[in-house]
Amino acid sequence: MSNVIAFVRDSLTSLVSRMGTDRDKAATTFYAHTVMSDEQLIAAYSTAWLPRKIVDIPALDACRKWRDWQAKKPQIEAIEEEEKRLNVKGRILEAAKKGRLFGGAAVYIGTGDADPMQPLEVDRIGKGGIRYLNVMTRRQLSAGEIDRNPESEWYGQPSYYKLSGANGLQVDIHPSRLVRFTGAMPADDEITGNPWQGWGDSVLQATLDAIKNADSTAGNIASLVFEAKIDIIRIPDFMASLNNETYRAKILERYTLANMSKGINGTLLLDKEEEYETKTAQLGGLTDILMAFMQIVSGAADIPVTRLLGQSPAGMNSTGTSDMKNYHDRIQSMQELEFSPAMRRLDECIERSADVKDPDVHYRWAPLEQMSEKERADIFKLTADAARQLVGTGTGQEIITREAISKALTNRLVEDGVLPGLDAAIEEYGTIEEQEPSEEEIAAAAQAVAGSALT
């Protein structure tokens, strides 16, 4: 008996309802790994509005307000002009969309180097060094051997990419020259057997069942609309007379004319012994069923119903503010955790291509939700009141010096944009420190006053 091993399972089991046993109905449910082909992805994106919205909306919202550069005004103008020349915003949006659709896309940083297999050296890029930006999908870019060196910057990623060009030509590209967008994170390429190793999964992969259920429900409801009203006519000895071919022809002719007269005059002509009845289908509640499926799609896509369907929230006191706030937080996380790391090397190249070599230059993603004029005014008032409390109303009451408060408040007002043109006005007229006389000027003025008093 010492060789007997007892297996203990900690779960809820009921022999009466068969829950938790081998005869449990839920025991037959399991997940299977299915991979959508490129043809299926293209067909879903091109012909159905739900898949297109699920792919496009997060990428569009992530790029919609773009970003605000924090630097001196000439530097900002130079960087933004370079972004316009290269169409950086449009290229990133296109790559993000295609990355979500196919599970992989990249922006190629074109510098005119002869050998793209060599790592991109950012320090060698001069003014106008970026010539173009091209978007490629995983259909054109196949991943090379995965880098397994734990000391490498590219560990776990392809050590190179192979671009399939025209006439069968292939070009090897170093990953430092690509801004990669990999869609949904794959579980494990070695286990799942992902044919596109080195890339991710399409975002439609996990949401496909929910999309199909919603589309099928909408299609069935649309079919029910045509069945909402059915005319029923009872004819004496109808079945017994169907064997007569002349009778069948007369019946078809008879009710073709009857329907025609009904459509023109609204009058149906029948024999005295015929009976006419109309049956109407009850369509109440179908909207609730459809919306339940749409909410499942919304949860699967992680997009609020108000944004996905473009409708106002339903229910008493429903504003949808909390849903949109959570969604904006999610987009901000995507910008900071996915876009910024992927674009880090590109941003350095853009700065150098704009002839800006200042380590203090950085950017912030612009908020998706813009404040109203009243909210801006309230924030301005609160900020000014807080600054006034820190400075105090008289000499010796300062918690923080006036100069420090003035500088911090100026930076805050410039960042918030509540006073347009403030930075230009400060450059023209100076700060409080520049307006106040220096110690040498005070001493010279005192001497001048003393000298005039003696005379």
At residue 316, the pLDDT reads: 45
Q: Look at residue 41 in the predicted model and tell me its pLDDT.
A: 93
Query: Picking from 62-76, 143-157, 432-446, which range would have the lowest pLDDT averaged per residue?
Result: 432-446
Q: 445: pLDDT confidence band, cut at 50, 70 and 90?
A: low
104: nearest Cα among 212, 205, 31: 205
In DSSP terms, which residues pair with 201 in a beta bridge? 184
What's the token pair of residue 192? 């799942």
Higher pLDDT, 28 or 42: 42
Tokens 């490629």, located at residue:
136
Does residue 86 surpass a pLDDT of 80?
yes
What pLDDT is attached to residue 42? 94
Task: Kindly give the interhelix angle for 286-301 and 49-64, rounded to the nearest 10 degrees.
Answer: 50
Please tell me the least confidently modeled range out of 162-176, 220-234, 426-440. 426-440
Distance of CA 288 to the CA centre of its chain: 27
Mean pLDDT of 364-389: 80
Q: What value, to the nearest 5°, has the Cα angle with vertex 29 and ends 28 and 33?
A: 125
**Cα distance between residue 229 and residue 322, in whole Å:** 42
pLDDT single digits (tens) 145-198: 888 888 888 888 899 999 987 677 889 999 999 999 998 888 776 665 666 788
* H/E segment holding residue 301: helix 286-301
The pLDDT score that the predictor gives to residue 392 is: 72
Please name which of 33, 201, 179 lies closest in space to residue 102, comparing C-alpha atoms.
201
The pLDDT of 218-227, averaged and rounded, is 85
CA distance 156 to 188: 11
Q: Which residue has the higher pLDDT, 357 or 376?
A: 357
- Helices 49-64 and 321-334: crossing angle in degrees, nearest 10, is 70
Residues 6+ apart with CB under 8 A from 406: 431, 432, 433
**What CA–CA distance (Å, rounded) separates 332 from 338?**
10
Q: Determine the 3-state secondary structure of 162 from DSSP.
A: strand
pLDDT band at 347 (very low <50, low <70, confident <90, very high): very high
Q: Is the pLDDT of residue 314 over 60?
A: no
Q: Assess contact for 179 and 109: CB atoms under 8 A.
A: yes
pLDDT at 83: 95
| Highest mean pLDDT pick, 182-196, 219-233, 350-364 | 350-364
Max Cα-Cα span within the chain: 140
More confident residue, 107 or 407: 107
> Tokens standing for 430?
């100076």
Q: Which of 41-55, 141-155, 183-197, 388-402 is predicted most confidently? A: 41-55
Residue percentage of the chain with pLDDT more than 90: 38
State the pLDDT at residue 85.
Answer: 95
